[in-house]
C-alpha cells in the first residue's frame, strides 16, 4: 500500500484539503487511514440526523477515517472539547484546522470511487470500480 502523509495548517478546511490532496496526487480514490490534530470549529452530522451540528471552540481530533473519491469525501471523526466531552459523527463542511492536522492517506492508483443511488438504502452509496 502506498501512503501519503499530510500536515494541514491553520485555517485549512479538513474536507476540502483532503479532496485537493487526493486530486493533486492524481488519484480518483483513496482512504483516510488515520488522523489527529486540532480544530477551531467543526460540523458533525450525528447518526440518524438530517443536519450537521456546529461545534465551536478548541477541539482535538481523536480519530479520523473515511473514503475519498469523485463523489466527495465520506469521513467520520471523534472530537474532544476543552472539557473532555467527546463528539463523533459524519464530518460535514466547516471543520477548520486550528494548529495542525496530521493525516495519513492511502491513494489508490487503480480504482475510482463514486457515489450512486442505492435502492436498498435510499442513499448515494460508495461504488468502487477499476480505473481504466
Q: Does the global pTM surpass 0.75? A: yes
What is the rounded average pLDDT of the residues 25-50? 96
pLDDT digits (tens, 9 = 90+) for 44-100: 999 989 999 999 999 999 999 999 998 889 999 999 999 999 999 999 999 999 999
The pLDDT score that the predictor gives to residue 118 is 95
pLDDT digits (tens, 9 = 90+) for 93-120: 999 999 999 999 999 999 999 999 999 9
Q: Please, are residues 38 and 58 in contact by the beta-carbon 8 Å criterion? A: yes
The pLDDT score that the predictor gives to residue 41 is 95
The pLDDT score that the predictor gives to residue 132 is 86
Rounded Cα distance between 62 and 115, Å, is 27
Amino acid at each position: 500500500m502506498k501512503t501519503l502523509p499530510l500536515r494541514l495548517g491553520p485555517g485549512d478546511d479538513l474536507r476540502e484539503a483532503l479532496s485537493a490532496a487526493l486530486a493533486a496526487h492524481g488519484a480518483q480514490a483513496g482512504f483516510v487511514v488515520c488522523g489527529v490534530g486540532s480544530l477551531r470549529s467543526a460540523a458533525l452530522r450525528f447518526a440518524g440526523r438530517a443536519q450537521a451540528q456546529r461545534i465551536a471552540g478548541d477541539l482535538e481530533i481523536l480519530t479520523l477515517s473515511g473514503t475519498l473519491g469523485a463523489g466527495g469525501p465520506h469521513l467520520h471523526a471523534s472530537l474532544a472539547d476543552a472539557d473532555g466531552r467527546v463528539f463523533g459523527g459524519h464530518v460535514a463542511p466547516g471543520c477548520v484546522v486550528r494548529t495542525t492536522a496530521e493525516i495519513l492517506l492511502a491513494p489508490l492508483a487503480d480504482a475510482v470511487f463514486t457515489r450512486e443511488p442505492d435502492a436498498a438504502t435510499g442513499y448515494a452509496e460508495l461504488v468502487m470500480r477499476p480505473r481504466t
